[in-house]
Chain A
Amino acid sequence: MITSLVTILSLPLIIGVGLYLKAAPIFDQQSFYSLIFSSQWAPSKGEFGFWPFITGSLYVTLLSFLFTLPVCLLAAIYLTQFSSKKLIKVMHPVIDVLAGLPSVIYGVWGILIIVPFVSDYIAPIFNATSSGYSVLSGGIVLSIMCIPYVLNMLIEVFNTVPVGLREASLSLGATQWESAKHVVIRGNYPGIISAYGLGIAKAFGETIAVMMVVGNVVKVSFNPLEAAYPLPALIANNYGEMLSIPMYDAALMFAAFLLLVIILMFNMIFRYLIHKTKRQ
Chain B
Amino acid sequence: MFIAEENTIPASTGFSDSPENLAKHIVRIKHLNVHAGEHHILKNVDLEIPRNKITVLLGPSGCGKTTLLKCMNKLTDLYRELEVSGNIFIEKDDILNTTTNIASIRQKMGLLSQRPYPLPVSIYKNVSYGLKLKGVRDRKLIDFSVEKHLREVGLWEEVKNRLNAPATSLSIGQQQRLCLARGLAVKPSIILADEPTSALDPISSKIIENLFKDLKKHYTIILVTHVLRQAIRLADHAIFMIDGEIIEQGDPEELFKNPQTEGLRAYLVDGN
Q: Which residues of A contact B (CB under 8 A)?
A: 84-85, 162-175, 178, 182-183, 186-187, 280
Contact = CB atoms under 8 A, between A and B. Distances in A.
A232 to B, nearest CB: 38
Contacts of B141: none
A172 B107 contact: yes
A172 B183 CA distance: 7
A182 B117 contact: no
Contacts of B107: 172-173
B133 A187 contact: no
26 contacts: A85-B80, A85-B81, A162-B117, A163-B78, A164-B114, A164-B115, A165-B119, A166-B78, A167-B113, A167-B117, A170-B78, A170-B106, A171-B109, A171-B111, A171-B183, A172-B133, A172-B182, A172-B186, A173-B106, A173-B186, A174-B129, A174-B133, A182-B119, A182-B121, A183-B119, A186-B121
- For the complex of A and B, list the 10 residue pairs with the smallest distance between their C-beta atoms, beginning with the closest: A187-B120, A171-B111, A173-B107, A172-B130, A168-B117, A164-B117, A173-B103, A165-B117, A173-B133, A164-B113
Contact of B104 (A163, A166, A173): A173
Interface string B78-119: 101100000000000000000000011011011101110101
Contacts of A186: 119-121
A172 B129 contact: yes
Interface in B111-165: 111, 113-115, 117, 119-121, 129-130, 133-134
Contact of B78 (A167, A174, A182): A167
B75 interface: yes
A27 B121 CA distance: 51
B55 interface: no
Interface string B227-260: 0000000000000000000000000000000000
Contact of B75 (A84, A171, A173): A171
Nearest to A175: B103
A164 B107 CA distance: 16
B35 to A, nearest CB: 17
Contacts of A178: 133
Contacts of B182: 168, 172
A167 B75 contact: yes
Interface residues of B, number: 30
Contacts of B106: 170-173
Contacts of A164: 113-115, 117
B179 interface: yes
Among B114, B115, B117, B183, chain A packs the most CB atoms within 10 A around the CB of B117
B119 A84 contact: no
A280 B164 CA distance: 10
A152 to B, nearest CB: 23
A8 B14 CA distance: 73
A85 B37 CA distance: 14
Contacts of A175: 103
Given A164-B113, A169-B119, A172-B186, 8 more contacts: A166-B78, A167-B78, A167-B117, A168-B179, A171-B111, A172-B129, A174-B129, A182-B119
Nearest to A173: B107
B134 A173 contact: yes
B189 interface: no
Given A164-B113, A167-B75, A173 B120 contact: no
Interface string B8-52: 000000000000000000000000000000000000000000000
Contacts of B174: none
B55 to A, nearest CB: 18
A22 B268 CA distance: 81
B220 interface: no
A186 B113 CA distance: 21
B197 interface: no
Interface string B161-198: 00000100000000000010011001000001000000
A119 B70 CA distance: 56
A233 B113 CA distance: 55
Contacts of A163: 78
Contacts of A166: 78
Nearest to B113: A164
